Amino acid sequence: MMRFTYFKALLLITTVLLQTGCLSTTVVNLTPSKLSRNAESMYRFEAAWESNQKSIQDDSIEGYVVMDEVQYPMKKVQVVKDRWEALIPLNPASEGYIYHLKFDFIYVSNPEPKPNSLRTKHFSLTIVEPNAR
């Protein structure tokens, strides 16, 4: 009798896991660690948003590049699905920067939707002279 109950519990857990799958949301930094210095001192930061969570409201997603506690908003790229970018002015006298990416979103929950946020690890960016890559 005990063995049959154990088997039923195992079968139920396996069924639930197979139906739900592994839910994940990931942000991938697509910005190179080195960029060539340019005359405008404007630099493109890029990220990919990857999620298989159906509960996230797509129109609520907002991406940011966070540098020195300043949040620079990212815009969704129209041509490529789940791709985000920001054009950020950087100090022409500086060479190195530390930043991370942050995405805010709302997910469906009972009794009402709830906000959440996802942050990446810190990344470094070095501005190099052209032809010095």
Overall pTM > 0.85: no
Residue 133 lies inside a defined structural domain of this protein: no
Residue 1 has pLDDT above 60, yes or no: no
Q: Spell out the SS3 assignment of the chain.
A: CHHHHHHHHHHHHHHHHHHHCCCCEEEEECCCCEEECCCCCEEEEEEEEEECCCCECHHHCEEEEEECCEEEECEECCCCCCEEEEEEECCCCCCEEEEEEEEEEEECCCCCCEEEEEECCCEEEEEECCCCC
Among candidates 50, 13, 11, 8, which has minimal Cα distance to 29?
A: 50
Residue 15 has pLDDT above 70, yes or no: no
Residue 2 lies inside a defined structural domain of this protein: no
Among candidates 67, 62, 78, which has minimal Cα distance to 27?
A: 62
Residue 123 lies inside a defined structural domain of this protein: yes
Q: What is the tally of structural domains in the chain?
A: 1
Q: Print the domain residue range for 92.
A: 23-128
How many Å apart are CA 83 and CA 54, to the nearest integer? 18
Q: 72-127, pLDDT tens digit by residue? A: 999 999 888 889 999 999 998 888 999 999 999 999 888 899 999 999 999 999 99
Residue 131 banded pLDDT, cuts 50, 70, 90: confident
Residue 10 lies inside a defined structural domain of this protein: no
Residue 113 lies inside a defined structural domain of this protein: yes
Between 83 and 8, the higher pLDDT residue: 83
CA distances, 12 to each of 15, 22, 65, 85, 122 (Å): 5, 17, 43, 43, 41
Residue 16 lies inside a defined structural domain of this protein: no
- The CATH number that applies at residue 48 is 2.60.40.10
Residue 44 lies inside a defined structural domain of this protein: yes
What pLDDT does residue 12 have?
Answer: 56
Residue 81 lies inside a defined structural domain of this protein: yes
